[in-house]
Amino acid sequence: MKRFSYINLVFIFLGGLILLFIIAPLLGMVLKTSPQTLFETARETEVRDSIWLTIWTSMAGTLIFSLAAIPLSYLLARKTFPMKRLVTGIIDLPVVIPHSAAGIALLGFVSRDSTLGQMGSMVGLNFIGHPAGIVIAMAFVSIPYLINTARDGFAGVPERLEKAAFTLGASPSRVFFTISLPLAWRNIVSGLILMFARGMSEFGAVIIIAYHPMITPVLIYERFGAFGLKYARPVSVLFIIISLALFITFRWLGKKRIIN
């Protein structure tokens, strides 16, 4: 017979408070929004365009920057090199600094006077007020989630498997793509989903780079500032529902891919 433990009751109570703290504001907002108002909001072209822009720019940033982030994660997990701790600290900087400050930093990085801005101008691309600038802002604040999660995944791959493959004559690239990457795939998928979700929710850095075209977090802010809570709430609820649906779908697809 299991012993009764008061500490478990305390933990359950505290855990319940945390869950209530997360759920109560969201549930209250949903309950105050009628289905009719939600449907009317979903029919607005401005709202649909902003949600679609938010989704595809975050997805683009995740896919593009993952091409370099995943190999970097492998190096951090497997290699020892000078100032490695400094590198890991730099990777975490976007999480630590205020995102408005990140937006200011990025503004100087992608402005027309910068090297990147001048390169963009050569092909007719201006990052300021353009979806490309939104992609960069979203990726900047969200890429640490992918790098850190993928690094933990690679670190969990037994090195003896890689060494055994090397002794059998496999090249480093073959070892990476046939052993390291498949075995760390669960963490990598989680990192990709977290990066995508974090990018979709970004506001501070994006609003400085591109107020227009408006992603949904910026649209919610504008409607709240101009018309108040009642006008901003339906957009917030709709965006939360879509974000949650996408998050659950990607989690399910990622889990199914891993099992298969």
Between CA 227 and CA 236 the distance in angstroms is 14
CA atoms within 13 A on the CB side of 237: 24
Tens digits of per-residue pLDDT, 242-253? Answer: 999 998 888 888
Residue 154: pLDDT above 70?
yes
**What domain range is 90 assigned to?**
38-259
Q: Could you tell me if residue 5 is inside a domain?
A: no
Query: Does position 4 have pLDDT exceeding 80, yes or no?
Result: no
Q: What is the mean pLDDT of residues 59-85?
A: 95
151-157: average pLDDT: 96
Q: What is the pTM of this model?
A: 0.91
Residue 1 lies in a domain: no
Q: What is the pLDDT of residue 95?
A: 92
Confidence of residue 117 (pLDDT cuts 50, 70, 90): confident
4 in a structural domain: no
Residue 137, token pair as written in the block: 């802002």
Q: Is 190 part of a structural domain of the chain? A: yes
Residue 200 lies inside a defined structural domain of this protein:
yes
CATH number of the structural domain spanning residue 94: 1.10.3720.10
Confidence of residue 259 (pLDDT cuts 50, 70, 90): low
What residues contact residue 116 under an 8 Å CB cut-off, 6+ apart? 109, 110, 127
Instruction: Give the ranges where the chain is alpha helix by DSSP (H).
Output: 6-31, 35-42, 45-78, 84-96, 99-110, 115-122, 131-155, 159-167, 172-175, 181-183, 185-201, 204-209, 216-227, 229-259
Helix 45-78 to helix 84-96 angle, to the nearest 10 degrees?
160
Q: Is 17 within the bounds of a domain?
A: no
pLDDT digits (tens, 9 = 90+) for 37-50: 999 999 999 999 99
* Residue, of 117 and 41, whose pLDDT is higher: 41
The string of pLDDT tens digits covering residues 162-207 is 999 999 999 999 999 999 999 999 999 999 999 999 999 999 999 9
pLDDT of residue 256: 64
What domain count does the chain have?
Answer: 1
In a domain, 8, yes or no: no
Residue 171 parent element (H or E): none
For residue 100, is it within any domain?
yes
- For the record, the structure tokens of 129 come out as 């007020």
Q: Which of the four pLDDT bands, split at 50, 70 and 90, describes residue 257?
A: low
Assign 260 a pLDDT band (cuts: 50, 70, 90). Answer: low
Mean pLDDT of 81-97: 93
- pLDDT score of 1: 47
Section 109-134 average pLDDT: 90
